[in-house]
Structure 1
Amino acid sequence: MFWQEDEAKTETPVPDDIVDVLFAVDCRSIPVDHAHALSAALLAAAPCLRKPGAGIHTIHVAGSQNGWERPDHNGDQQLHLSRRTRLCIRLPREDVAELREQLQGQTLDVGGSALRMGACKERLLSKETTLLARYVAGPAAAEEEHAFLQWVDAELTELGIKVRKALCGKATPLSTPSGPLQTRSLMLAGLTAEESILLQQLGLGPHREMGCGLFIPHKGIDSVHKSV
């Protein structure tokens, strides 16, 4: 764990050169471990996702709703989707029209589940200074926490991003045809708004097409820190 006190925040405009595109989806359920299946289906239907700067968020639903608990990641468990579920894709804004044309109205096979792509809308990246990546892949993802955080620090330093507060979570293997891809979750806090936007734009580590290294805003980790 790294921990350093927050610096003063300044107002920063959010650029629109990289955006998130949120698609409505019609699908009853998909496998919990769907990163590779979703990636394969989307890349086949939308070749523009192979361009630099694109990333595919995995679909994530609430951990608990009406007594329902989110299934474990491994095994043949299913995620049950609602009408409010959205599929999020991050890419350069100049490619949004092409993506919409290639995907809207298409029905994809995601691990044996039919997922129909509906209407979409754009959303700017966040300037929140606490970010979460559910999956980060890299040479240190399968190692102990200290080694993983050292790798994170070195990678972010090269991007000009200072690590002030970082927590890595559990290791999660993602299924692929060539075997499990080892990943870890990562939460970063105390970023400047500029660093936050840059990290969302660039990501961290490989396999962005499977949702790895893609950061989203998080409510914060101060309460988490107090409990550890």
Structure 2
Amino acid sequence: MFWQESDSEPQQPQVPDDVIDLMFPLQRCKSLPVDHAHALSEALISAVAWLADEPRAAIHTIHVAGSQNGWERPSHGREQHLLPSRRTKLGIRLPRARADELKTALEGRTLEIEGSSFTLGPAKERPLSPERTLFARYVVANADENEDQFLQRIASELGQRGIKIRKALCGKTISLSTPTGPMLTRSLMLAELNHDDAIALQQQGIGTHQSMGCGIFLPHKGIDAVAKTAS
């Protein structure tokens, strides 16, 4: 865990809109495998081939609410299934210039995901966040590195891009299924980024397999409570 206190950040400038998320509601979706990242990627790239070649395109995995009110989120695995609600959406991050093209290609389209299916409804655009604490559910990790080595590698990679991290915390280790075997990932939270770095991370992500939901940063409310629990 990295933990450096920093000076307060000045008022944040406006968030650029050249990269956005398109959020497609799922229609007629009864269930989905929890571990669906590779299958979802394959289905979408089969439907829209240029998603594989667009450098700023990334596909969010589909998530439902966590365990609460008697509902228990199933453990990770292809044999476990999510039960999407009417509010569940599929998100795809891409340049705004290609948003209309993707809407035309996917709205009303039915996708098959390992025995499950759903139809994509009319998409809404969601801008990137001005938050300076970001969270990635999956970042590709090396099998031979421990948590500290993972964080050191991430800090080095971001440093080469001119991005300085002050507070970083990695969480769950999860293996995503692929045709060539399981791919190890770790969750990652970065806090107190400066505004430009937070935007750059959302626009560009980190690491490989962003078409499988890896290295995609989302806004998070804060890291302090998590840090106190981890210490």
TM-score calculated relative to the size of structure 2? 0.95
Note the 1:53-64 alignment, pairs <5 A. Answer: 53-64=56-67
Alpha-carbon contact 2:36-2:78 (below 8 Å) kept: no
Secondary structure class of the residue paired with 2:168: strand
Q: Whole-Å Cα distance in 2 between the matches of residues 173 and 106 of structure 1? A: 29
Residues 142/103 of structure 1: CA separation in 2 closer, same or farther (3 Å cut):
farther
Segments of 4+ in structure 1 off by > 6 A?
none
Alpha-carbon contact 2:33-2:77 (below 8 Å) kept: no
The aligned counterpart of 1:41 is: 43
The aligned counterpart of 2:147 is: 145
What is the CA deviation profile of residues 49-80 of structure 1, one whole-angstrom value per residue up to 9, with x for unaligned ones?
A: 12111000001111124311111112500010
The aligned counterpart of 2:6 is: 6
Q: Whole-Å Cα distance in 2 between the matches of residues 142 and 86 of structure 1? A: 35
1:164 aligned partner, one-letter code: R
Q: Tell me the CA shift for residue 142 of structure 1.
A: 5.2
Secondary structure class of the residue paired with 1:69: coil
The aligned counterpart of 2:21 is: 20
The aligned counterpart of 1:122 is: 125
Q: Tell me the CA shift for residue 141 of structure 1.
A: 5.8
In structure 1, the gaps of 5 or more residues are: none
Q: Whole-Å Cα distance in 1 between the matches of residues 195 and 41 of structure 2? A: 29
2:113 aligned partner, one-letter code: V
Out of 196, 201, 204, the residue aligned to residue 203 of structure 2 is 201
1:77 aligned partner, one-letter code: Q
2:7 aligned partner, one-letter code: E
Residues 102/58 of structure 1: CA separation in 2 closer, same or farther (3 Å cut):
same
Q: Whole-Å Cα distance in 2 between the matches of residues 82 and 214 of structure 1? A: 23
Out of 130, 133, 136, the residue aligned to residue 133 of structure 1 is 136
Secondary structure class of the residue paired with 1:64: coil
1:143 aligned partner, one-letter code: E
What is the CA deviation profile of residues 63-118 of structure 1, one whole-angstrom value per residue up to 9, with x for unaligned ones?
A: 12431111111250001000001111000111111100110000000121011100
Q: Whole-Å Cα distance in 2 between the matches of residues 142 and 131 of structure 1? A: 26
TM-score calculated relative to the size of structure 1? 0.96
Out of 158, 161, 175, the residue aligned to residue 160 of structure 2 is 158
CA RMSD of aligned residues (A): 1.2
Secondary structure class of the residue paired with 2:121: strand
Alpha-carbon contact 2:107-2:122 (below 8 Å) kept: yes
Alpha-carbon contact 1:48-1:99 (below 8 Å) kept: no
1:189 aligned partner, one-letter code: A
Q: Whole-Å Cα distance in 1 between the matches of residues 166 and 114 of structure 2? A: 39
Q: Tell me the CA shift for residue 194 of structure 1.
A: 1.1
Secondary structure class of the residue paired with 2:41: helix
2:176 aligned partner, one-letter code: L
Q: Tell me the CA shift for residue 6 of structure 1.
A: 3.1
Give aligned-pair identity as a percent: 57
Secondary structure class of the residue paired with 1:169: strand
The aligned counterpart of 1:100 is: 103
Q: Whole-Å Cα distance in 1 between the matches of residues 31 and 169 of structure 2? A: 31
Q: Whole-Å Cα distance in 1 between the matches of residues 223 and 193 of structure 2? A: 12
1:171 aligned partner, one-letter code: T
Q: Whole-Å Cα distance in 1 between the matches of residues 91 and 9 of structure 2? A: 28
Note the 1:80-99 alignment, pairs <5 A. Answer: 80-99=83-102
